[in-house]
Structure 1
């Protein structure tokens, strides 16, 4: 048994009691199904064709027994249908939760390489197909095996030759089913990939709907969606073709079996080697024999859909996080904020060259340092290495004299506050979004954080104040308002280290002043790194570090760097002339 099979079966463990009850009901259903034709045969041979003294009373007695069996059969079927499906839903929920938890562990590098829509498909559609498999899988196997063996024994008891003739069809049916089952598996895998592409396209288009409309490129998005949609339809065409051959071919075989029984059974009656009552019972048992075959056909479809989804589920679950806590990693509490880069180099997996090359930099506790330079020299990357969003390729980063790889990620990031240019706000209220900085904060603490971020006044002017719903990604707010909410969130977190990633570059002058004021208030007495696009916003920095493709070009105060007439002075004068 391989590891994936063990993993597949492990999801039954919490629900073994429910599974046993489900299989017990399946056993009862199978047994009753086999007993009903025998009851009919008993009435036909022993009562109707026999010399019973009280045939009516015997018919009523057997009828009462059959009625009781039907009631039990119905109750067991109801249990299987309801409780069995719920067991599948519980297991699906467990898998979805495990996958979502795993998503939280994966680093930025993973998300750089995967589309959100594809990941959503694996969390929804792929796992959804497993519900039916987990429920019907064991039940279908038990019912099919019991009914098949039981019907075979009864058929052999009635007429050995006719039974053997019928069973000559089975090897051919098995080979036919195996061949088309394999083709179905390939088609289903492609189909799941294609629906993932559709989800990715929809997610991308809808997320950027404002850009789409502003450039009047609705037709472009329609064409991209039509292309993804057509590929999905083409994949389903192959899937349905294989499924049609598979299903209808097996139905054709079962009809051939019925014709065979009619022809050879009729001939046996003419030769007086078979009684009419036995032929009637034989027909009923052939129906029972065919039903497990049809059930196995359905199981094969569920298996292919489910196992394809499970394989895609496991592909993600088997991805190891790029960044994990070391076995000896420690939790930090009292952070001073002394950061030191020691010959740090970094490159992304899909790139050959280094984004950062042997960078050494010391930032003292409470120091306000600005990072400037042309786009693409690694300013954001440098700051992303501190909270270990990415792992250094070479060298090391020290925090208060300790390698950050020896610190737990949770406690490291707990002590770092980040304000980004592209603010992400969650759908919900203003209150909920600020509280994200500290989920245990009181209402008074949240309001205090908003006031310190210059956000309280505009929040109170909203229709419902702090309870106002701001829409998906805060679409109901302006850029400056969203930025101040993100700063309030960091105020609430109250970290000793701050990173500002071009937090004011996309704002108008009035919003920039309000945000800049709150940023300066927030950075007071904290180790602060600012990635600056507008150099006028960092003139008051204690130190300005100029990055280039070759690493640190120069560093110093605003006045010192201007006096040198170097790279910083060129950048500064260039912006003044724009």
Structure 2
């Protein structure tokens, strides 16, 4: 791995490794929807071919019906099938023109429906697969990656691909049919004048290749700036309470202004290039039209000019002018197609970059189900260090500072093990290894004798209930949030779980009871209410192993007492790990582990640790003194 790669995030590295992203998009996601794609393309071709018929018929009618200088003939149609009188020729011409416009309209509608179904089906699959993949990524990715940039991939980049599949592809097909069809007709009518009309095409091709080469890296930078802006907006809005209480509105506004200006600058670079490319293409297309008009006009007024030979009729000249104008419009729109193509290419690189990030923590080959767990947990001389970043984690490189050292203990089924110690000592990290949110570097964590790395993640985590110090609730009803512990639970079980968590009383007082919507992250509830819903969710899960990471940290003393009584009943027959700041909540634990600087420095019961006179006894003395002072 080179020096530059070492400074990049895992997302940047795997995005840069994506090869032919749009080809991969079609291979992986377009193929299952190929029927819709084929229908759209076929309808598009028919519509565009039909749209070329009116100018051709008009030219033939001018020469045969109005000027009467040439016979009434149509390409690929035998003369014996065509009428011979001027009135019938006029009627046929009118019918063909009307029929061509009707055919164009009908098949354009078919193409529009088919193209949109194809694009939206593909994007539905891409968006859901990206989200599923993102959820399975290891925790270091989320520690290292800003949420706003991931949201940009799932929303903005997916939408860019949708626009490309819906518009750019079909417009490219339309352009190809129009250019080839018009060129074929022009050469059929007058090959010499056709050369004049098409003389600017090579210059257009070269100009387009230059534009694609220059604009591509700018699009990549533009997409990155969108992610940065989204992250800044999400962080500022997510922390709006802190922003207001700290009166940092001006500071946050300035940070958003800088991120927005970066996006503005990248966007302006794209726009500036577009305003060089588009007028340039229009100029070259205009040169084709002007050259056709001048050469054809001179040809009509006098003999064939210069090297040209033969005759040019009025009808043919009119057809050339109409066809050239139709030729100009799609060529001038090439810039839009290139715009969408480059945008889609940059976006697809980001989408597949996200999908390609390797998942280190997953089910091992031959992983077994943890069935009927008893709840025996062993930490066997465990060491752990956080990787410096998600890239090193994905590549299984351990380079960070070690945060856990030789952790070794056993929790028997039904035991309660309390972890105490200063903030940052490694208590929460230790229990996240049991959930396999992170992987141990040395040693083993075992459940019922199985190394957790040999168990399926679903069965391992399904046997463990986790209540963290930060209760996360979804935007929905109270009932929906509790039911997250067991989606099959009925209303009766939900109410039982709420009662066990001392939540039923306040839920009953809400405007719509269990059907009350609580807002994003439970913003309409107090911190204590949020925590009790989180505990009710875990009660409903009914796990064999319970992790309480300062689960009562956000409730008042009386509510804490009530919840603690419920938790005591809940933990009676479960293996429980409790991280607590208030030692009074864990003094009855079977084993208390004192964690300092990632090491177990003391272990024992409450009374035994007090008698030992170590760190635990000191902490207990300080907290007991605070209680006495507060009550005195």
- The interval holding the TM-score normalised by the smaller chain is over 0.9
Structure 1 residue 558 displacement after superposition: 1.1
Structure 1 residue 255 displacement after superposition: 1.0
Confirm whether residue 281 of structure 1 aligns to residue 298 of structure 2. Answer: no
Measure, in 2, the Cα distance between the counterparts of 1:280 and 1:3. 44
Contact 1:380 1:501 in 2 (8 A): yes
Superposition pairs of residues 543-558 of structure 1, within 5 angstroms: 543-549=591-597, 551-558=599-606
Q: Classify the secondary structure of the residue corresponding to 1:541.
A: coil
Residue aligning to 1:574: 622
Contact 1:371 1:531 in 2 (8 A): yes
Confirm whether residue 260 of structure 1 aligns to residue 291 of structure 2. Answer: yes
CA, structure 1 residues 424+2, in 2 after alignment: closer, same or farther (shift >3 Å)?
closer
Match for residue 157 of structure 1 among 162, 169, 188? 188
Confirm whether residue 309 of structure 1 aligns to residue 347 of structure 2. Answer: yes
Confirm whether residue 458 of structure 1 aligns to residue 535 of structure 2. Answer: no
Structure 1 residue 431 displacement after superposition: 0.9
CA RMSD in angstroms, aligned pairs only: 1.9
Residue aligning to 1:11: 29
Residue aligning to 2:396: none
Match for residue 53 of structure 2 among 35, 47, 57? 35
Q: Classify the secondary structure of the residue corresponding to 2:352.
A: helix
Measure, in 2, the Cα distance between the counterparts of 1:194 and 1:444. 50
TM-score, structure 1 length as denominator? 0.96
Contact 1:22 1:79 in 2 (8 A): yes
Superposition pairs of residues 56-135 of structure 1, within 5 angstroms: 56-135=87-166
Measure, in 1, the Cα distance between the counterparts of 2:322 and 2:253. 55
Contact 2:39 2:114 in 1 (8 A): no
Structure 1 residue 512 displacement after superposition: 1.9
Cα distance per residue 1:63-109 (max 9 Å; x no partner): 11211111011111112223322321221111111111112211211
CA, structure 1 residues 2+116, in 2 after alignment: closer, same or farther (shift >3 Å)?
closer
Residue aligning to 1:349: 387
Structure 1 residue 452 displacement after superposition: 1.4
Match for residue 368 of structure 2 among 316, 327, 330? 330
Structure 1 runs of 4+ with >4 Å offset = none
Measure, in 1, the Cα distance between the counterparts of 2:61 and 2:335. 34
CA, structure 1 residues 241+414, in 2 after alignment: closer, same or farther (shift >3 Å)?
same
Structure 1 residue 266 displacement after superposition: 2.3
Residue aligning to 2:309: none
Measure, in 2, the Cα distance between the counterparts of 1:452 and 1:135. 53
Contact 1:487 1:518 in 2 (8 A): no
TM-score, structure 2 length as denominator? 0.88
Measure, in 2, the Cα distance between the counterparts of 1:330 and 1:6. 38
Match for residue 40 of structure 2 among 19, 22, 29? 22
Contact 1:261 1:283 in 2 (8 A): yes
Match for residue 242 of structure 2 among 194, 211, 227? 211
Residue aligning to 2:8: none
Q: Mind listing any 5+ residue stretches in structure 2 that lack a counterpart?
A: 1-17, 72-83, 305-311, 389-398, 627-632
Measure, in 2, the Cα distance between the counterparts of 1:209 and 1:2. 41
Structure 1 residue 521 displacement after superposition: 2.0
Structure 1 residue 8 displacement after superposition: 0.8
Superposition pairs of residues 310-459 of structure 1, within 5 angstroms: 310-350=348-388, 352-459=400-507
Structure 1 residue 577 displacement after superposition: 4.3
CA, structure 1 residues 302+272, in 2 after alignment: closer, same or farther (shift >3 Å)?
same
Contact 1:147 1:289 in 2 (8 A): yes
Measure, in 2, the Cα distance between the counterparts of 1:550 and 1:421. 20
Cα distance per residue 1:546-566 (max 9 Å; x no partner): 112251111001111111111
Q: Which deviates the most, 200-209 or 162-171? A: 162-171
Q: Which deviates the most, 441-450 or 74-83? A: 74-83
Confirm whether residue 182 of structure 1 aligns to residue 245 of structure 2. Answer: no
Contact 1:385 1:392 in 2 (8 A): yes
Confirm whether residue 467 of structure 1 aligns to residue 515 of structure 2. Answer: yes
Contact 2:22 2:345 in 1 (8 A): no
Cα distance per residue 1:314-371 (max 9 Å; x no partner): 1101112221101100111210111111121111111621011221111111111101
Contact 2:63 2:314 in 1 (8 A): no
Contact 1:344 1:397 in 2 (8 A): yes
Structure 1 residue 162 displacement after superposition: 3.2
Measure, in 2, the Cα distance between the counterparts of 1:223 and 1:136. 37
Q: Classify the secondary structure of the residue corresponding to 2:543.
A: coil
Measure, in 2, the Cα distance between the counterparts of 1:63 and 1:166. 27
Measure, in 1, the Cα distance between the counterparts of 2:523 and 2:44. 54
Measure, in 1, the Cα distance between the counterparts of 2:169 and 2:242. 50
Residue aligning to 1:50: 68
Measure, in 1, the Cα distance between the counterparts of 2:321 and 2:277. 24
Q: Classify the secondary structure of the residue corresponding to 2:131.
A: helix
CA, structure 1 residues 517+544, in 2 after alignment: closer, same or farther (shift >3 Å)?
same
Aligned residues, how many? 578
Measure, in 2, the Cα distance between the counterparts of 1:5 and 1:396. 43
Q: Which deviates the most, 216-225 or 396-405? A: 216-225
Structure 1 residue 261 displacement after superposition: 1.5
Contact 2:383 2:407 in 1 (8 A): yes
Measure, in 2, the Cα distance between the counterparts of 1:295 and 1:14. 30
Match for residue 542 of structure 1 among 590, 615, 619? 590
Contact 2:229 2:260 in 1 (8 A): yes
Residue aligning to 1:247: 278
Q: Classify the secondary structure of the residue corresponding to 2:374.
A: coil
Contact 1:109 1:322 in 2 (8 A): no
Cα distance per residue 1:444-501 (max 9 Å; x no partner): 1111111111111221122221112222211222222221111111111100100010
